[in-house]
Amino acid sequence: MRLLVNIVTTSVLFVSAAFSQSVQGNYKMNSVIVHYTYVTRDMESPADTLSGSYAVTASWPSSAAPIFSYPLQGFSTGDTVGTQLVPLTTPEALAGFGYILTGDPTAPGIDMTIDLYDDGAFFINDGSTYPSTTTVDCITTATIPEVSEFGTWTGTSPITDPNDATVSTRGWGITQSGVFAQFGAPDLATMVEGTDYGAGTNMENWGILTVNYTDASLATPVSAEIYWEAHDGTASGLAVDDDGFLNGSVGIGTVASDSVTIAATAAAAAAAGI
């Protein structure tokens, strides 16, 4: 099974400052929430028409070398195939996520440390890990590779929370990264979500940085929360090939809740003398 998808990713990254001045400092991730939305897209490239489809197909004995196959469900362009929420809200959940994904208790979890600089640069420290996905033989699985890179960010003028003078929020975006999506920084003082930025606007990929400080001087951060939304495409740098064509896809190998298909497939195989 292979579906051509446009993945809308909503991420919230929570980090704590080990030391810092202004927004600059060394931040350790202590929570991450990722919400994936899978939407069926148009076929764009030759690879799409050669290997893609809009159907969930059951194959026996495998999709790579099927003796017979039949479709279970079909989708049209623009249909939402599904959503997936990954809420890792504690250090223990981050550390144990590798085990959850693989069943291997020795598999690494999610561990990220970032140096954030006031000049618009950031560095993901060596030894960091962060979740991603890979599709092999039409089966999409989550992975946690090691990551490290220099990147750049942009931001708009910060706004102090009227209810808490120790909290500051600004539009925040990533302009260069091979790990994270690229997204813009809306001006929160003049722009309106849903009109000037957000899904269906000219700035679909956008982010916000909220920083908690030690006091109202806003000089020394204690922690930060980064929220962003990103859509597959050239603007975000997600799921596109070198020619700018969308190449994202999603596939499943088994359906744990399906108690019918396997039995029906086995019966059909027996009836066919296989």
3-state secondary structure of 266: helix
% of the chain surpassing 70 pLDDT: 70
- Output the pLDDT for position 71: 74
229 contacts 183 by C-beta, under 8 angstroms: yes
Q: How confident is the model at residue 53 (pLDDT cuts 50, 70, 90)?
A: low
CA distances from 34 to 39, 74, 255 (A): 16, 26, 22
- Output the pLDDT for position 154: 95
- Output the pLDDT for position 131: 78
Phi/psi for 124 (5° steps) reads: -85, 115
- Output the pLDDT for position 76: 72
3-state secondary structure of 185: coil
210 contacts 178 by C-beta, under 8 angstroms: no
Cα(14)–Cα(212) distance, integer angstroms: 11
- Output the pLDDT for position 126: 96
Cβ neighbours of 212 (radius 10 Å) = 17
1 contacts 248 by C-beta, under 8 angstroms: no
3-state secondary structure of 84: strand
pLDDT: which is higher, 21 or 273: 273
- Output the pLDDT for position 10: 52
Mean pLDDT over all residues of the chain?
79
Q: Which two tokens stand for residue 245?
A: 């064509």
Round the CA-based radius of gyration of the chain to a whole number and report it: 22
3-state secondary structure of 181: coil
DSSP lists the bridge partners of residue 3 as: 53, 250
3-state secondary structure of 47: helix
113 contacts 123 by C-beta, under 8 angstroms: no
Q: How confident is the model at residue 57 (pLDDT cuts 50, 70, 90)?
A: confident
168 contacts 213 by C-beta, under 8 angstroms: yes
Q: Assess whether pLDDT exceeds 50 at residue 262.
A: yes
pLDDT: which is higher, 51 or 145: 145
Q: How confident is the model at residue 247 (pLDDT cuts 50, 70, 90)?
A: low
Closest CA to 58 of 70, 66, 75, 74: 70
The model's pLDDT over 152-166, given as tens digits with 9 standing for 90+, comes to 999 999 999 999 999
Closest CA to 40 of 91, 73, 6: 6
The model's pLDDT over 170-201, given as tens digits with 9 standing for 90+, comes to 999 999 998 888 999 999 999 999 999 998 89
149 contacts 55 by C-beta, under 8 angstroms: no
pLDDT: which is higher, 131 or 175: 175
Query: pTM of this prediction?
Result: 0.75
Q: Which of 46-55, 97-106, 186-195 has the highest mean pLDDT?
A: 186-195
DSSP at 189: T
